[in-house]
A and B are shown apart, each in its own frame.
Chain A
Amino acid sequence: MKGILKKWKVPLAMAIIYLVVLVFKRETGEASLAVAGDYAKEMILIMPAVLLLMGLIEVWIPKESIQQWLGKGSGIKGMALSFALGTLPTGPLYAAFPMTASLLKKGARISNAVIFMGSWAALKIPQLLVEIEFMGLGFAALRFILTLVAIVTSGYVIEYMMRDPASHQWLNVPADEQQLQKQRG
């Protein structure tokens, strides 16, 4: 009960604000309500489909298999794979941190790690569908292309800047922790 209240305290506060505004500044309140209503309608139309699509992706392409496929292939193939696999997961970016770390520990290139995280963050497929709906195809397509270029470029620049092995000493985790990782993976 307490948890529910905590989760919903912002919407609750919002409802109270709306009530207050409606009572004291009726016209503004009605205008706000109209905008919010339109906006809610759009969300209700698109969200169930997007969430269900994300559900299907999560069920059929679990994160474990993504992790398995990652790190295979090198050169252009490795890069394309990092990009493509990054567009599939549905979780927030911080879910990618441990995956990327184990990837690097297995010897993946830093550029591919950056590309994977970048496409996970910015180029996810369900996210793109929502973007096209609300921002237009032109906006979404242009942002996609520019972001892809930026991710690949910064991937290689970061790899070059971290070419000194001393700059990623964190890779040398204690043996027992690596063992743990193996058991988990």
Chain B
Amino acid sequence: MSTLMVIYSILAIGLALSLVKSRKKTLMAFKVAGKAALKLAPSLIAIIGLVGLILGFLPPETISRLVGNEAGYTATLVAALIGAVTMIPSLIAFPLAGSLIRSGATVMTASAFITTLVMVGMVTAPMEAKILGRRFTLLRNGFGFISALMIAAIMGVIL
């Protein structure tokens, strides 16, 4: 709840400043936000529905067997691979990972998924290679994947 208050306070300050400086630009920000909301809505609803179904169908024991302590490093590696090949907007990925943790997934697995999701893009790699070169793309994504695993391991130990 307190996070929400912080976010809305930041927003209130930003909006006030924006309104003082330019009404037109503030209105534009609302339009940009509306457009983004429309764009995000279908995948948002899809993920919400998917999480509901998964948690409704699978008992907590099954989930923890799949992605929890029992699953061990294999689950972490699989989560990292899924994160690398999928393109889920990160705004949606955090709630998804959060609900997985609440239903028994380990921090290590959740952070591996999130970190590869944001840092490694297999789907966009061909485009990246065309614009930034094959070697750069390979190195950036490769290092991204390795660091994601290391970050996940450290986070799993600390948290």
Q: Indicate if the CB atoms of B139 and A161 lie closer than 8 Å.
A: yes
Question: Which residues of chain A are near B119, meaning CB under 8 Å?
Answer: 118, 121-122, 147
Q: Is B78 in contact with chain A by the CB < 8 A criterion?
A: no
Q: Is B62 in contact with chain A by the CB < 8 A criterion?
A: no
Question: Which residues of chain A are near B53, meaning CB under 8 Å?
Answer: 14, 17-18, 21, 32, 36
Question: Which residues of chain B are near A92, meaning CB under 8 Å?
Answer: 89
Among A17, A40, A121, A130, the residue within 8 A (CB) of B48 is A40
Q: Indicate if the CB atoms of B4 and A46 lie closer than 8 Å.
A: yes
Q: Indicate if the CB atoms of A122 and B131 lie closer than 8 Å.
A: no
Question: Considering the complex, which residues of chain A in the window 92-121 have a beta carbon less than 8 Å from any beta carbon of chain B?
Answer: 92-94, 97-98, 100-101, 104, 110, 114, 117-118, 121
Q: Indicate if the CB atoms of A139 and B111 lie closer than 8 Å.
A: yes
Instruction: Give Cα A114–Cα B139 distance, bound, in whole angstroms.
Output: 10
Among B15, B37, B132, the residue within 8 A (CB) of A56 is B15
Instruction: Give Cα A53–Cα B56 distance, bound, in whole angstroms.
Output: 33
Most B CB within 10 A of own CB, among A31, A133, A162: A133
Q: Is A170 in contact with chain B by the CB < 8 A criterion?
A: yes
Q: Indicate if the CB atoms of A14 and B132 lie closer than 8 Å.
A: no
By beta carbon, the residue of chain A nearest B18 is: A56
Q: Indicate if the CB atoms of A55 and B114 lie closer than 8 Å.
A: no
**How many pairs of residues, A versus B, come closer than 8 Å at their CB atoms?**
225
Q: Indicate if the CB atoms of A139 and B132 lie closer than 8 Å.
A: no
Question: Which residues of chain A are near B121, meaning CB under 8 Å?
Answer: 93-94
Q: Indicate if the CB atoms of B111 and A36 lie closer than 8 Å.
A: no
Q: Indicate if the CB atoms of A168 and B147 lie closer than 8 Å.
A: no
Q: Indicate if the CB atoms of A35 and B118 lie closer than 8 Å.
A: no
Among A17, A34, A45, A151, the residue within 8 A (CB) of B4 is A45
Among A58, A129, A138, A161, the residue within 8 A (CB) of B7 is A129
Given contacts A35-B51, A135-B97, A161-B139, contact A54 B32 (CB under 8 A): yes
Q: Indicate if the CB atoms of A55 and B31 lie closer than 8 Å.
A: yes
Question: Which residues of chain A are near B45, meaning CB under 8 Å?
Answer: 10-11, 14
Q: Indicate if the CB atoms of B99 and A97 lie closer than 8 Å.
A: no
Q: Is B46 in contact with chain A by the CB < 8 A criterion?
A: yes
Q: Indicate if the CB atoms of A138 and B159 lie closer than 8 Å.
A: yes
Interface string of B112-140 (1 = CB under 8 A from A): 00110011010010011001110110011
Q: Indicate if the CB atoms of B52 and A35 lie closer than 8 Å.
A: yes
Among B46, B51, B111, B115, the residue within 8 A (CB) of A11 is B46
**10 A-B contacts (beta carbon < 8 Å):** A10-B43, A14-B50, A35-B55, A39-B95, A43-B48, A49-B11, A55-B30, A60-B29, A131-B114, A157-B143
If A14-B53, A147-B119 are given as contacts, then 7 extra A-B residue pairs at C-beta distance below 8 Å, sorted by A number, are: A18-B52, A40-B48, A50-B7, A60-B18, A104-B132, A121-B118, A168-B133
Interface residues of A (CB under 8 A from B): 7-8, 10-11, 14-15, 17-18, 21, 28-29, 31-37, 39-40, 42-43, 45-56, 58-60, 90, 92-94, 97-98, 100-101, 104, 110, 114, 117-118, 121-122, 124, 126-127, 129-135, 137-139, 142-143, 146-147, 150-151, 153-154, 157-158, 161-162, 167-170
